[in-house]
Amino acid sequence: MNNNNFRESDNGTKRLLTNVLKTMESLGVDLAKFNKDLEDICTKMVIAFRPHIVNTYHYEIGQEGKANQNCFHIFGFDLMLDADHKLWVLEINCFPSFNYFCNKINISEKQGKE
């Protein structure tokens, strides 16, 4: 269930990170350890992806030094916290969906301004 009012409410599939962290803390999760584990996992995954990222950069933009381009890539990490508060990687998405937030834009209002 998507939560259309996720900023004020704490239910549904979309929630603010601050609300999720508050809930985790209330369940006894050590947030300092969680943050360290999260940083460790993300760092290792980016290191593992580095060859692919560099290869894609060279293919799409050009060899280093030949193109003066700035770029970035967004990854979506799907993680799970088990009953022992251990963090597990479920999957990593190269192109995470922002559809939920993009659908919030009122298209008819934008078209009327053009």
Task: Give domain status of residue 104, yes or no.
Answer: yes
The count of domains in the chain is 1
Q: Which residues contact 78 (CB under 8 A, 6 or more apart)?
A: 89, 90, 91, 92, 93
Q: Does the pLDDT at position 27 exceed 80? A: yes
In a domain, 70, yes or no: yes
68, pLDDT greater than 60: no
- For 77, counting Cβ atoms within 10 Å of its Cβ (0-12 exposed, 13-18 middle, 19+ buried), the class is middle
Split at pLDDT 50, 70, 90, the class of 90 is very high
Residue 43 confidence (pLDDT) above 70 = yes
SS3 19: helix
pTM (two decimals):
0.65
Structural domain for 98, as ranges: 30-108
- Name the β-bridge partners of 87: 81
Question: What number is the average pLDDT over the span 102-113?
Answer: 51
